[in-house]
């Protein structure tokens, strides 16, 4: 459920009519709802009420906007970060360092150093090589880095292949068969306080079964490690819970997920970390856009050309992802259309042969479920600049990221003297 609803024939974000934002800020623009973010945070937290010791670390990659992070920080969330930039954002939003988890297969030396300097709560190590490097850096600073070993359980998450992370052929984590050996080696290093294991098998999961299979493998590994004399106090179960992108689609609820986790982990006796992203932010945002013009199709339906493009919302072009597309002031009439952006490639298509609200030049529309992996994946392709972002709170809203136009981006470039 989200707070984007039709009222008096016009789509509102909470109590703000979307035409007001379009008028005042311009389009395309992302619109996030504070109330939705807070409700999702609450529902997810309540779903884990039976987990005695836990940290919910928001996956910053899904929406790194500072204002969004601030809302979640105030809801008690920490942060799961995957780069120095995300780490700085989490700190800037007031996340306490001990609530920050650093994931990622390619953390650089500088990023490991930054994490150590800031005293973050946990590094999720993805290889022996990374573990050795982190241990050496920490030891040279007289520290012991708190860490978990990310394992690759070889489980098919049954999601899009580009966002599946837990199969043997994926680059993530240490293969389960090598986990014991790697753990033995890394746990013995002075610079590491190796406390447990981490797992994350993919994103936009529509089925709890692969998660349960992966968690069961983690549970067996924890038993093995303990039998070998290791003290295992922490397990990080990652994120991945999917959300509906089409009206009417059914997904496992946070409560069902929480019940499964509670059941599977009941006897583990560990502190659990969760890294949800999409389930918190996805349905808390829309991309508001204006129709530039409607163009007659060749041998298919008309092209509804909107002023948003694949550089603003990459998911349809990248994964063939579906985003519901609705008029802001629907007339009740419907049409079948190809919904496209202005960018010079055919991939800049949001939807083909889509039945949608009838739209004309100048009218406003939204792509729904754009709060996660939306603005954060934007580029400036075609020198279109970076899209603006707004956050609604009741009957007020704020611009929480300025539009960066092509000129400002150009200011960061130069022609060297020897070419002038």
Ligand X SMILES: Cc1ncc(COP(=O)(O)O)c(C=O)c1O
For residue 285, state whether it binds ligand X (rule: CB under 6 A).
no
Decide whether 10 or 163 has the Cβ nearer to ligand LYS. 163
Per CB under 6 A, residues contacting ligand LYS are 61, 163, 203-204, 315, 373
- Exactly one of 6, 49, 188, 344 is catalytic; which is it? 344
Decide whether 103 or 390 has the Cβ nearer to ligand LYS. 103
373 is in an annotated binding site: yes
315 is in an annotated binding site: yes
For residue 275, state whether it binds ligand X (rule: CB under 6 A).
yes
For residue 240, state whether it binds ligand X (rule: CB under 6 A).
yes
285 is in an annotated binding site: no
Q: Which does residue 238 touch among ligand X, ligand LYS, none (CB within 5 to 8 A, set by kind)?
A: ligand X
345 is in an annotated binding site: yes
For residue 99, state whether it binds ligand X (rule: CB under 6 A).
no
For residue 203, state whether it binds ligand X (rule: CB under 6 A).
yes
Among 28, 210, 239, 341, binds ligand X (CB under 6 A): 239
Q: Which does residue 193 touch among ligand LYS, ligand X, none (CB within 5 to 8 A, set by kind)?
A: none
From the CA atom positions of the chain, what is the Rg in Å? 23
Answer whether the bond into residue 255 is a cis peptide, omega within 30°: no
Distance between first and last Cα of the chain: 56
Among 103, 289, 349, 369, binds ligand X (CB under 6 A): 103
Q: Which of 92, 91, 94 is nearest to 102 (CA)?
A: 91
Residue that has been written with the tokens 């603003």 in this structure: 312
Q: Can you tell me the distance from the alpha carbon of 37 to that of 68, in angstroms, rounded to the nearest whole number?
A: 8
Nearest distance from residue 278's CB to ligand X, in Å? 4
34 is in an annotated binding site: no
For residue 164, state whether it binds ligand X (rule: CB under 6 A).
no
Whether 148 is catalytic is no
Which residues, 6 or more positions from 292, have their beta carbon under 8 angstroms from its beta carbon? 305, 306, 307, 342, 361
Q: Which of 74, 86, 155, 75 is nearest to 118 (CA)?
A: 86
Residue nearest to ligand LYS (CB): 373
Among 64, 196, 238, 258, binds ligand X (CB under 6 A): 238
Binding residue ranges for substrate:
278, 315, 319, 345, 373
Note the residues at the interface with ligand X (CB under 6 A). 59, 62, 80, 103, 165, 200, 203-204, 238-241, 275-279
Catalytic residues: 344
Binding residue ranges:
240, 275-278, 315, 319, 345, 373
């Amino acid at each position: 459920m989200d707070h984007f609803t039709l009222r008096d024939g016009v789509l509102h974000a909470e109590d703000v009519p979307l035409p007001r934002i379009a008028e005042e800020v311009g389009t395309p623009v992302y619109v996030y709802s504070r109330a939705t973010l807070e409700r999702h945070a609450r529902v997810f937290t309540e779903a884990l009420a039976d987990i005695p010791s836990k940290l919910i670390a928001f996956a910053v990659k899904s929406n790194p906007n500072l204002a969004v992070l601030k809302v979640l920080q105030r809801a008690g969330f920490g942060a799961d970060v995957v780069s120095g930039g995300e780490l700085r954002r989490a700190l800037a939003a007031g996340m306490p360092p001990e609530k920050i988890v650093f994931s990622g297969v390619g953390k650089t030396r500088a990023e490991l150093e930054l994490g150590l300097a800031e005293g973050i709560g946990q590094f999720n190590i993805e290889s022996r090589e990374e573990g050795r490097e982190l241990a050496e850096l920490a030891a040279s600073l007289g520290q012991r880095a708190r860490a978990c070993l990310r394992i690759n359980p070889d489980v098919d998450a049954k999601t899009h292949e580009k966002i599946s992370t837990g199969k043997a052929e994926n680059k993530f984590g240490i293969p389960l068969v090598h986990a014991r050996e790697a753990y033995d080696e890394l746990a013995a290093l002075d610079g590491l306080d190796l406390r447990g294991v981490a797992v994350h098998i993919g994103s936009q999961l529509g089925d709890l079964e692969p998660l349960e299979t992966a968690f069961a493998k983690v549970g067996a590994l924890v038993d093995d490690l303990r039998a070998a004399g290791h003290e295992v106090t922490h397990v990080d179960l990652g994120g991945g819970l999917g959300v509906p992108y089409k009206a009417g689609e059914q997904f496992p609820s946070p409560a069902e997920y929480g019940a499964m986790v509670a059941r599977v982990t009941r006897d583990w006796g560990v502190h659990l970390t969760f890294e949800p992203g999409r389930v918190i932010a996805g349905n808390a945002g829309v991309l508001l856009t204006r129709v530039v013009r409607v163009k007659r199709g060749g041998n298919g339906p008309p092209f509804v050309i909107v002023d948003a493009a694949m550089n603003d919302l990459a998911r349809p072009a990248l994964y063939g992802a579906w985003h519901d597309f609705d008029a802001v002031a629907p007339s009740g009439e419907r049409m079948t259309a190809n919904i496209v952006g202005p960018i010079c490639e055919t991939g800049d298509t949001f939807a083909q042969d889509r039945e949608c609200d009838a739209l004309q030049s100048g009218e406003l529309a939204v792509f729904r479920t754009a709060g996660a992996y939306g603005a954060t994946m934007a580029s400036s392709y075609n020198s279109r600049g970076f899209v603006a972002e707004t956050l609604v709170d009741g009957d007020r809203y704020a611009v929480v990221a300025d539009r960066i136009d092509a000129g400002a981006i150009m200011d960061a470039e130069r022609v060297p003297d020897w070419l002038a």
